[in-house]
Amino acid sequence: MYYVKKFYIYLQFFTLSYNLIKRMQKNGKILIVDDDLNILKSLKILLDDEFDFIKTISNPNLLLSEYKKEAFDVVLLDMNFSAGINTGNEGIYWLNEILKIDTLATIVLITAYGDVNLAVKAMKEGASDFIIKPWNNEKLIYTLKSAIKIKQSQLKINKLSKDNASLSNEISKPKEKIVGSSPSMKEIFSLIDKVATTDANVLILGENGTGKELIAREIHQKSNRKLKPMINIDMGSISEFLFESELFGHKKGAFTDAKEDRIGRFEIANEGTLFLDEIGNVPFSLQSKILTAIQKQEITPVGSNYTLPINVRLITATNKNLEKLISLGTFREDLYYRINTVQVELPPLRKRKEDIIPIAEYYLKFYSAKYDKPSIEMSKDAIKALIQYQWPGNIRELRHTIEKAVILSSDMTLNANDFMLKQESTSSEWPLKFEEIEKLAIQRALENNSGKMIDAARELGLTRQTLYNKIKKYNLTS
């Protein structure tokens, strides 16, 4: 009795092991479309042990809706659905319909008629292979497994192509240097060195124009992910309608203007760094979607029923007081703690005046080379003017001021007047009415950002539409 029990224990063990190995060998999802129910039943029995998932349908009119529900690796498609018609045109019609919604679809056509010309025509239309009834079981399984390998290779190539395009865009951007030797910046550089090599989420705080994106790029460049892309998203410029599509991607046909598949920023940044700029501008109703993606480390493209695993290092930035927004109920507290593992707070330029001239000299050299005026220098009064100015637009304003001076100067020495700095209001001009203050603030923001509406709106903490309405109200020009 003891040996009998032992035998059954070993038998169960080997059975479980065998089934586990079989499951590990199974790979791929197959959609079978044929109007013959007996053929569907036979194919399902044959293929169930070979592949992860088998779906059969007898009505080709349901084909597209079923295809959109699941990420099928291969469609096994009959070529004739109407009795007495053997032209194969129906199969080719549905072949083309599938390819309209998924250009990478892998389709194996099956027919009872060994017409070589029909096979050639189907292959030219985009079929991956061709099977003739009655089929050889081993050959059919081999054909489907080969088709799956082709599909997986196509997906890898397609993703690599999109990743390369994104990397090319990133590489083509001019890389700016962080300039600063003030005590506050030395502390920030030390903090960057400590946090960069970890995968900790970083929240960068600071006024508009203080260089939050430069800090994010420095963290990325010193991280273990530096060979992968850093993808930047301006959260304040994404419309609510396109929010999910921009971040998570979409499938062709998911909405009216979705004419082709689109890969989202989270997926592009996979294994790299994702920088969400102006995170404080995300509407409350959409914050949960970001939180879910960060927590689960997976996304679901719009119009898709399957999730994609992601592995991103998250850096966020804002000029808003998030703790105040939490108290007002406009920012999620759980999202705040999720993005704020380490916090970097950038001081405004007016609080690190010793960095003004080194930054100005850096951009003077940069724009002198760009505009082919390599010998331009700054006079003493120009340097004094730069130090005395309060720089409400911070480094961004300083950079634009230097660029404009280099472009417009006809001399090799820049003077204070070349910077066209705005004079500070005197006490005799105060108090101003609220409308006058608002008008001045809008004028300054537009000047700081060279008339760019998106940048000016971001500096003011307004939506683009609100800024546009106020420009019309005060009869200003952008």
CATH number of the domain bearing residue 260: 3.40.50.300
CA distances from 35 to 38, 82, 109, 113, 166 (A): 9, 9, 14, 16, 44
Which residue(s) pair with 275 in the sheet? 232, 315
Please state the pTM of the whole predicted model: 0.60
Q: Which of 343, 377, 392 lies at the terminal end of a domain, its last residue?
A: 343
Distance (Å, whole) CA 213 – CA 315: 10
Residues 106 and 191 in one domain: no
| Beta carbons within 8 Å of 70's beta carbon, 6+ residues apart | 29, 31, 53, 55, 305, 306
Domain count, the chain: 4
In three-state secondary structure terms, 220 is helix
Assigned token pair, 13 = 């063990």
Residues 207 and 324 in one domain: yes
**Tens-place pLDDT, residues 216-230:** 999 999 999 999 989
**Tens-place pLDDT, residues 13-29:** 455 444 444 444 457 88
Distance (Å, whole) CA 346 – CA 126: 55
Amino acid at 234: D
Query: Per-residue pLDDT for the chain (478 aa), expressed as one digit of tens each?
Result: 545 444 455 445 455 444 444 444 457 889 999 888 988 998 898 888 888 889 999 998 898 888 888 878 899 988 877 655 566 678 888 888 888 888 888 888 887 655 666 767 777 888 888 787 788 888 888 888 888 887 777 766 666 565 555 554 554 455 678 999 999 999 999 999 999 999 999 999 999 999 999 999 999 999 999 999 899 999 988 888 889 999 998 887 778 777 778 889 999 999 999 999 999 999 999 999 999 999 999 999 998 888 899 999 999 999 999 999 999 999 999 999 999 999 999 999 999 999 999 999 999 999 999 999 888 999 999 999 999 999 999 999 999 999 999 999 888 999 999 998 876 544 444 445 667 677 777 887 887 777 778 878 878 878 878 888 788 777 776 5
Residues 420 and 435 in one domain: no
Assigned token pair, 250 = 């979409």
Domain residues for the domain of 419 are: 348-424
Residue 251 lies inside a defined structural domain of this protein: yes
Residues 118 and 46 in one domain: yes
Residues 362 and 331 in one domain: no
- Per-residue pLDDT, 24: 40
CA distances from 123 to 100, 151, 313, 347, 365 (A): 16, 15, 43, 63, 59
Task: Identify whether the C-beta of residue 406 lies closer than 8 Å to the C-beta of residue 368.
Answer: yes
Residue 98 lies inside a defined structural domain of this protein: yes
